[in-house]
Structure 1
Amino acid sequence: AFDVGLTGKDWIIETDADVVEVSDLVYSKASMRPVRWVLAVPESSSIQTVKDLEGKHIATEVVNITKKYLAENNVNAHVEFSWGATEVKPPELADAIVEVTETGSSLRANKLRIVEVLLESNTKLIANRNSWNDPWKREKIENMAMLLQGAIHAQGKVGLKMNAPKDALDKIMAFIPGLRTPTVSNLADGKWVALEVIVDEQTVRSVIPDLKRAGAEGIFEYHINKLID
């Protein structure tokens, strides 16, 4: 077995881990964007910048990241590790928190506002350096990275197949917002061709009726699990 793990940029910084960062895997629960580690305080708090945290109490899961950020800003504050439910700790148990957020909805629900963003983070595929230096293991890790990236790239994409009369091909092609020019194959009937293309799923509802009206037949949509560029 080779030593490989899935973790985030924040974990690497927090632990100062000596690992090989093989690949960025940018996705999150509600979107395909990185998440943010933010400094947040109660909406009614007088704290407006990191400088206002001098002598204050901060709760967070990323103690080292927070301490480094405070040091960079020449601020002395008490940083305490939070075992969970960090958003509910201000104002009674903490003056501020450093917490991860994607949309900010959880912070707003707990009547918190963002003061500053410490860093953006995303999942990373990492490898043990000894494993990475082994050619056989490195190839397996690179294969895994390729397949994981392919699964992420496939999100929100679908495939379309259809038959089309050759004399309507240009008209049909005008309605296809594909990643590349569609694959076109001749059918046994020389007057017809088969087309295949990958498109954004959100466009399919408008594209398929347009294709049908332009002369395409036998149109069908299918999901894809991986898309390797």
Structure 2
Amino acid sequence: MFERKNGVKIYFPDGHLEKPVWDAMIEAGYKLKKSERGYHISVDHPEIILKQVRPQIMPFYIMRGRGDGGFTGEDILENSMLRYEKLNEKVVVVERLPFRPTKLVVAVSEEMYPGVKTIEDLKEVAGDKELMFASEFPDLAKKYCEEKGLNAIVFDPIGKTEASILPPDPEADLILEITEFGTTLRENGCRIIDVVKDPVYSVFIANKESYSNPHKRKLMENLITDIKEVLDSRNLVSFLFNVPDENDIPKILEFLTSEGFDPTVSKLAKGGVAIHIIIDRSKVKFLKPVIREMGGKRIATQPVISFGE
């Protein structure tokens, strides 16, 4: 275990997780700047070191104590748990984060296997033939083969997984791949024949020894809390309106408090009050007509970042 007495070393992800994590940290008030070669990310926090690596290798590095924590995917973590015996003993999942949830799927080429719609169809078409199964998650793919009774050689294509099943002369018969909406797979003529896990979330993981250190734990938890507050706030808005008629105020306040809100009430210069609540964005369209009917005027909404409960 490498000693970092002051501060924590956090692994920053590349790939599809890079932008969501970057944007959330910026929104939370962190100033980030990537180095020329793109591996080190400077941050305006004296006790946080950020280094960018592939999420696939993060659990191994953190298990070995080369870093204190990092952002990766549940799929990657599960694959690493199958690969490394000691991972469960050395790594702790600190938080599950809703960064762009994905799903883990099995797919084939529509051109190569036009009649195959399910994994059972593929097994029937293949018969005794040994299939080639490509995936960046080879240990998960091997587990899948065992569960489905699939006769296949599993390999990591080291790159764009879907390319390995594209005709002519594909290198693989099927793939185990992460997708958000399936768009890239469809554009490449691939058909999803099984959904292994949906949704797949991102996780922040930490070295157990680091996490048992009160100072390091506090630093990591503060970072995660900052990010979670940003993510939670994306669904929240400030809902503001005026109530010019004094007679309408009691019924509006009674209604809002009965709905679980704790409104802020401010006096207006010309009489009446201004009322402010924080509400889930999806509920605004239902609340607006009710407030209008009860005497609310000049209704407005604006984005909000909520710092804690």
Whether TM exceeds 0.5 here: the answer is yes
The 1:46/1:208 distance shift into structure 2, 3 A limit, reads: closer
How many residue pairs end up in the alignment?
Answer: 224
The 1:219/1:61 distance shift into structure 2, 3 A limit, reads: same
Could you tell me how far apart the structure 2 residues matched to 1:85 and 1:135 are? 41
Check the 8 A contact 1:184/1:193 in 2, yes or no.
no
Could you tell me how far apart the structure 1 residues matched to 2:138 and 2:254 are? 54
Check the 8 A contact 1:149/1:228 in 2, yes or no.
no
Could you tell me how far apart the structure 1 residues matched to 2:230 and 2:142 are? 36
Could you tell me how far apart the structure 2 residues matched to 1:93 and 1:190 are? 76
Could you tell me how far apart the structure 1 residues matched to 2:235 and 2:150 are? 44
Check the 8 A contact 1:147/1:226 in 2, yes or no.
no
Residues 1:222 and 2:302 aligned together: yes
After TM superposition, give the deviation of residue 220 of structure 1 in Å.
3.6
Residues 1:24 and 2:120 aligned together: no
Name the TM-score, length of structure 1 as normaliser.
0.81
Matches within 5 A, 1:39-118: 39-43=106-110, 44-46=114-116, 48-49=118-119, 52=123, 55-90=130-165, 91=167, 92-118=170-196
The 1:38/1:188 distance shift into structure 2, 3 A limit, reads: closer
The 1:188/1:211 distance shift into structure 2, 3 A limit, reads: closer
The 1:63/1:200 distance shift into structure 2, 3 A limit, reads: same
After TM superposition, give the deviation of residue 25 of structure 1 in Å.
0.2
CA displacement 1:99-150 (0-9 Å, x = unmatched): 1112222222222222222224210011111111011211222222222221
- Which is worse superposed, 190-199 or 159-168? 190-199
The 1:180/1:148 distance shift into structure 2, 3 A limit, reads: farther
Could you tell me how far apart the structure 2 residues matched to 1:84 and 1:207 are? 49
The 1:218/1:39 distance shift into structure 2, 3 A limit, reads: same
- 2:238 aligned residue (153, 159, 172): 159
CA displacement 1:172-218 (0-9 Å, x = unmatched): 56997x98414142527796333111233355467557645643345
**Counterpart residue number, 2:21:** none
Residues 1:183 and 2:258 aligned together: no
Q: Which has the higher helix share?
A: 2
Could you tell me how far apart the structure 2 residues matched to 1:186 and 1:199 are? 18
Give, as a single letter, the amino acid of the residue that structure 1 aligns with 2:131: K
The 1:190/1:65 distance shift into structure 2, 3 A limit, reads: same
- Which is worse superposed, 204-213 or 40-49? 204-213
Name the TM-score, length of structure 2 as normaliser.
0.62
Check the 8 A contact 1:184/1:196 in 2, yes or no.
yes
Give the superposed CA RMSD.
3.2
- 2:103 aligned residue (27, 36, 52): 36
Check the 8 A contact 2:240/2:299 in 1, yes or no.
yes
The 1:188/1:114 distance shift into structure 2, 3 A limit, reads: closer
